[in-house]
Structures are given as C-alpha cells and as structure tokens.
Homo-oligomer: A and B are copies of this chain.
Amino acid sequence: MERTIKIAVDAMGGDHAPKEIIKGAVEAVKEMNAHVILVGEQQAMERELEKYSYDHTKIEKVFAAEVISTDETPTVAIRKKKDSSMVVGLHLVKEKKADAFVSAGSTGALLTGALFIVGRIKGVERPVLGTCLPDKHGFTFLMDSGANVDCKAKYLEQFAKMGSVYIENMYGIQNPRVALVNIGSEKEKGNALTKEAYELLEQTDLNFTGNIEPREIPFGKADVVVCDGFVGNTILKLAEGLSVALLGAIKEEITVGHYKLAAAALKKPFGNIKKRFDADEVGGAPFLGLQSLVVKAHGSSQSKAIKNAIKQCILFTEADIVSKIQNKL
C-alpha cells in the first residue's frame, strides 16, 4: 500500500487567513487525493472548518498559539515564536510528519525558518525561491525571485539546475530552455556576476540558451530564467505593479462618458486578460534546495491559490524532486 502524502498548511499566514486558507484546504481534499495538516490557533481553525462538510479523516489539526506577522524581523521571530503556526509547521516537515509546507505568511520569516529548521540538500549552496511569472503564453519560471540578494556565479549555476529539474518534472517540459537574465544578448554583456555565470552555465548539460534581456521575458522565450535575488525580486514586483498600473489607467480611460457602454461589453475579454496574467493559477513560489518542499503562497492568496499550492506539493513529493535535484548537482 502506498503511503499517504501529507501537506502541512499554515492556517494563520496571509492577508485572508484563516478564512481563505482553510477554504482552500477543504477544496483541496475534496478535489484531489490530498491529506492536509492545518496548523494554527485552535478556535480560529475550528470556527472556519465548521462551515464546511468534508472527509474529516483527510484534514488533521495541529494547534499553535502564536502568529508571526509580516512586520517582525525574520530571524528574531523564528527564534522567539516557537509556538507559531509557521515554526510548528516547519518542524512537522523536519520530523517527517509532513512532506511539505505551505504558508502565505511573512516571506522573510518563512525563508529563514525553512533554511534553519528544514535544512538544505547536501551540496546546495543557497536554497532559491522560484516564481512562475505569468506571461503572454503561459509562464516563465523566475529564480531567484528574492531569497538571496547578493549572489556568486556558482549559486546562479545551481539555481539553473534546480529550476530545470523542477520545471521538467512538475510541468513535463522536456529539456527546458534555461536563460540568464542580462542587459544584453551577447555573451560579453552584463556585470561581473553575469559574465562569470555565463561561463559556468555554458559548461553544464542544461539546455542553456544564453542571455535573455528583461524585455523578452514577458514573451515566454525561456522556461527558466536565472538571476540574483535582488534583480529577480525587482522583476517580479515591477511586473506586478506595472500590470496593475496599466490596467488601472485603461479602466480610467474607458469607464467615462460614452465609452462606458463599450467597456461594459468587453468585461469578459478583460477578465480573460486578468486570468492570463493571474499568479493564483499556478500555486505558490517553491523554495528549492531544501530537504523537503516549502511553498510561499502570495500574501493576498485566496482559496484557489492555496488549493493549487497543495496540489503543487503533492506533485513535487510524488515526483521525488528532492532526490532528482541532489542527483543533478
């Protein structure tokens, strides 16, 4: 008999916790063969769970009295709040009581806690946060999207390998195209870091397609793009901000006077656009290079994002991506 895969979920993290988190967990156990361990405040969790009918054998509860907020200093919060939903959840993974952990809470605390509690795969220099950046044709897997702000070329080489394994096994993309984010397409372009990283990437067995300029990223010209966490986070956050600003400006222009009627007629296609550029569709951001998967769900996650993050954890565990990463390095 196959063992049951169990996913621990931080019930208290994110802007819409615990409501949307618990709704997402319930949807997950209804829609797929999932077993979820919810971690959080007893009363808050029970109050939300009461709203739903579901198979009670598929949702476990583990109580934790504290919550880490996004304005706390990550290292201090992880060290002091031993009974927080995040720390308790990470320990479940460490002790193999859960296969993976999902949280929509503080990114900094989650990355710090995951690194110290769950621990790295042997040989991994720096675990890396990958994010599926929605684009015109699907998505591009961006890593590092914010975990390591100062990087060495060697880290970028490892990011590329981990990203390639992840995308190949999670999405069935054979031999994914891996590109280096750079401000010019020629090999000799860029800063000290990218020049050195280019040399290393050329020597790997990856499908390395060379440099990708940021303007090309939204057109899906690579499956995996690598950069340091400062540049990656800049790309991620600017893309979010600019999409909102641009769609907001369009709304301002077309919902006035006699344009209103035409704008109303276009509600559906505009909804499609939002869906095409919607991060919730692809789950959360995996923190790769650890002994087990830890997924950072967006702070504004609704139930759909949580459900998709749980699905992502199950696929990851089934495909045994941790061993595959270890073999690749």
Interface residues of A (CB under 8 A from B): 135-136, 146, 149-150, 181, 183, 190-192, 194, 213-219, 228-231, 233-235, 237-250, 253-254, 259, 261-263, 265-266, 269-270, 272-273, 276-277
Q: What is the bound-complex CA distance between A245 and B216, given in angstroms? A: 9
Given contacts A191-B150, A249-B136, A262-B265, contact A216 B233 (CB under 8 A): no
Q: Which of B135, B216, B238 contacts A214 (CB 8 A)?
A: B238
Q: What is the bound-complex CA distance between A136 and B242, given in angstroms? A: 9
Q: How many copies of the shown chain assemble into the complex?
A: 2
Task: In the A-B complex, list the 6 residue pairs whose CB atoms are closest, starting with the nearest.
Answer: A215-B241, A253-B269, A218-B245, A214-B238, A149-B191, A262-B265
5 contacts between A and B (CB under 8 A): A215-B237, A231-B231, A242-B246, A246-B273, A253-B273
Whether B245 lies near A273 (C-beta < 8 A) is no
Q: Which of B190, B192, B217, B234 contacts A241 (CB 8 A)?
A: B217
Q: What is the bound-complex CA distance between A209 and B71, given in angstroms? A: 20
Q: What is the bound-complex CA distance between A213 and B241, given in angstroms? A: 9
Query: Which residues in B have their C-beta under 8 angstroms from that of A215?
Result: 237-238, 240-241, 244
Query: Which residues in B have their C-beta under 8 angstroms from that of A216?
Result: 241
Query: Which residues in B have their C-beta under 8 angstroms from that of A149?
Result: 183, 190-191
Q: What is the bound-complex CA distance between A181 and B238, given in angstroms? A: 11
- Chain B residue with Cβ nearest A238: B214
Whether B238 lies near A136 (C-beta < 8 A) is no
